[in-house]
Structure 1
Amino acid sequence: MTADILPALTAEVRRAAHPRGGGCGHHPDAVLAEREDGTVVRHGDTVAKAHAPGTDLGEFSLRLGIAADLPEIFLAPLRSTPADLHGRSVTFWPYGTAVDPDTPDAAPWEAAATLLARLHQAPAPTGLPAMRGPLKAARAVQRLHAVRPHPAAASVLAAWAALPAWARAEAPMPSARSLCHGDLHLGQLVRHPADTGPWLLIDVDDLGLGEPAWDLARPAAWYGCGLLPPDEWARFLAAYRRAGGPGVPATGDPWPALDVPARALTVQTAARAVVKSVAAGRALDEVEQAVVDACARMARISPQLAQ
């Protein structure tokens, strides 16, 4: 449970921030995230993350090494190897300023796209496993199966069933050709040094070899659902192309490459929305309903994708 790890993780981040002791009282602790798949605590300019239980240490060490080797793309860890804390892998990072969700007009779409393009062109270390994007989508659908029946579930599950096996993590990706982030959204960018430095990617948990279009799929899905304005999507896509990103053709229609990943991310988002609304005992909000409605449209018009 996350509650069990939190006090120990807080003590660890304090020690990492003050290796010679003292000074802790001048910097309040802050819990940045507390979920089953990761707990993140900040103390001063240092951040510690306890990763998901059962994380494969060998694979994760390869992923962490990529962040250390690509400091122009990823926020570099403070330590090159993860620590062990009550059986959980723990990493330590410098604090960076996150994207402000209250100022969407200032969202760094061009920076995100450029970082992705550079990542997709970077060399991958030998032995790196597949990126875990499809697996995360499959787990979201599994959690949907586990909650009590919901009126929206049928549309979400029908859209999921229409996807090809690789997008449901039931078969290898047909083109695992690039180093991919695996879970790209604006929450995965920070500025370092805080407030003044360049934007950098964070979170290597899902990093691996894969189809680069998957990393473009969440903004593509938002655009397709009417949640991302066309001009912001155009800025993102143009910046990715300018930087030579291989996930879509350099010119022309990008959607043949984006269609399946964008549908998969729409289903993942909708499944999470339904599970979240059930847990809170409330109706879907406007944004959640938009992605569920998109699933209903997908299920009606594209049953052939699963073939």
Structure 2
Amino acid sequence: MIEPWLAELTGRDDAPRQLRTRSGSRLYFFADLLVKVHRPATDAAELGQRLAYCRGPLLTPLDPIPRLLLVDGPDRPPGLVTRWPIVEVLSPEATPPWTESARLLARVHETRITTPVPGHGWPARLARAVALAPAELADLGRSLLHQVYRRNEPQRLLHGDWHLGQLGRTAAGWCLLDPEDLGRGDPAWDLARPAGFWAADLLPDADWQEFLDGYRAAGGIAIPAAGDPWPVLDLPARCAVYVAAMHPDAHPSDTAQALAEACRRMAQLSL
């Protein structure tokens, strides 16, 4: 049975497929429509600022302004709701389009910031990971967080939570999904996950090189056009590995173990 608020919003009477994300968002999938109830404590003004940049390489929402709806009844705070077109997502068995992903990110990074937009989501994500850390890795997380807060970052637009699950395909081609952490800061953060997984021996050299070459060929500004990118990527990559390691249930057991081992090595090197 479809929830009354959802029926009123969509004009549908068929029950959608539902999914709750790790961050607390709720997704309702219809045949041609996705309704998203954003995670609790999402700031309405900041989300609206982020949605204003959802064009070009980023999937455009059907609602340019998020709606406040009583999704949990009249006695609970309203939720922020947006509607999106249904897109094809990358299958786990498919060969990742590393070059196209890199091109999309390079296009985001070259976008001029012309209206207010919040900072990107990595510092908050890292802080949440530190709160989940076992005692042996808590100091490492606090050290990484301290280094992040001390950074003087360039103020460019970035996706803020890029990984392969954030790719969608429309009739026009691949695009980037989920702008909930989109914001201003250092675009190197969008390269953090593939960089970190490559450094942890979880991404093949050929895939990493294809991604890196594709980004440079597209004029990406996060790293030097030639030479060693690691001075720029080192801290974001280490943070990405740490965050991933604090969510072992999100990975196959061998991947989770490799991430934990990488964190232990980082902790030893920081002594």
What is the TM-score when the length of structure 2 is the normalising length?
0.89
Provide the residue aligned with 2:118 in structure 1: 129
Q: Give 2:79's match in structure 1, choosing from 54, 69, 88.
A: 88
How far is 1:176 from its partner?
Answer: 3.3
Distance 1:130 1:172 in 2: 15
Q: Aligned pair in 2 of structure 1 residues 182, 203: CA closer, same or farther (>3 Å)?
A: same
List per-residue Cα deviations over 1:194-217 (Å, max 9, x = no partner). xxx311001111111011111100
User: Residue type of the partner of 1:100?
Assistant: S
Which amino acid letter does the alignment assign opposite residue 17 of structure 2? Answer: A
> Which among 143, 153, 156 is matched to residue 175 of structure 1?
153
The gaps in structure 1 that reach 5 residues or longer are: 1-5, 145-152, 278-283
Query: Which residue identity lines up with residue 286 of structure 1 in the other structure?
Result: D
| Structure 1 Cα separation of the partners of residues 130 and 257 of structure 2 | 17
Structure 2 residue 230 is the aligned partner of structure 1 residue 262: no
Question: Corresponding residue for 1:57?
Answer: 44
In structure 1, the residue matched to 2:30 is: 43
Contact 1:99 1:187 in 2 (8 A): yes
Q: Which of 115, 137, 141 is matched with 1:160 structurally?
A: 141
Residue deviations 1:205-253 (CA, integer Å, cap 9, x gap) = 1111011111100011111111111100000011011111111111000
Q: Report the secondary structure of 1:245's partner residue.
A: coil
1:147 alignment counterpart: none
Q: Distance in 2 between matches of 1:56 and 1:143?
A: 23
State the alpha-carbon separation in 2 of the partners of residues 135 and 172 from structure 1: 14
List gaps (5 residues or longer) in structure 2.
71-77
Identity of aligned residues (%): 37
Task: Note the aligned Cα RMSD (angstroms).
Answer: 2.2
Query: 1:57-116, CA deviations, whole angstroms, 9 ceiling, x for partnerless residues?
Result: 11110101110xx2x21111011111112211100000000110123xx11111111111
CA distance in 2: counterparts of 1:290 and 1:121, whole angstroms:
34
Instruction: Indicate the residue corresponding to 2:57 in structure 1.
Output: 73
For 1:101, the equivalent position in structure 2 comes to: 92
User: What is the one-letter code of the residue matched to 1:162?
Assistant: S
The match for 1:298 among 253, 266, 269 is 266
Contact 1:156–1:292 (8 Å) recurs in 2: no
Name the structure where helix makes up a greater proportion of residues: 1
Aligned length: 263
Could you say which residue in structure 2 is the equivalent of 1:185? 163
Write out aligned runs for 1:244-259 (5 A).
Answer: 244-259=219-234
Which of residues 254, 258, 271 in structure 1 aligns to 2:246? 271
2:74 is matched with none
Shift, 1:288, TM fit: 0.5
Change over 3 Å in CA distance of 1:299–1:108 after alignment to 2? same
Partners of 1:286 and 1:129 in 2: CA distance: 36
1:219 maps to amino acid:
P
Residues 120, 51 of structure 1: alpha-carbon distance in 2 compared, 3 angstrom cutoff: same
Say yes or no: does 1:243 pair with 2:224: no
Offset of 1:126 from its aligned partner? 3.0
Map of 2:75 onto structure 1: none
- The list of structure 1 runs, each at least 4 consecutive aligned residues, that deviate by more than 4 angstroms after superposition, is 14-18
How much has 1:173 moved relative to structure 2?
4.1
SS state at 1:66 partner: coil
Distance 1:53 1:290, change over 3 A: same
From the superposition, tell whether residues 202 and 246 of structure 1 become closer, same or farther in structure 2 (CA, over 3 Å).
same
Q: 1:138 to 1:129 in 2, by over 3 A?
A: same
| TM-score scaled by length of structure 1 | 0.79
SS at match of 1:92: strand
Query: Paired residue for 2:206?
Result: 231
Measure how far apart 1:302 and its partner are. Answer: 3.5
- Secondary structure of 2:144's match? coil
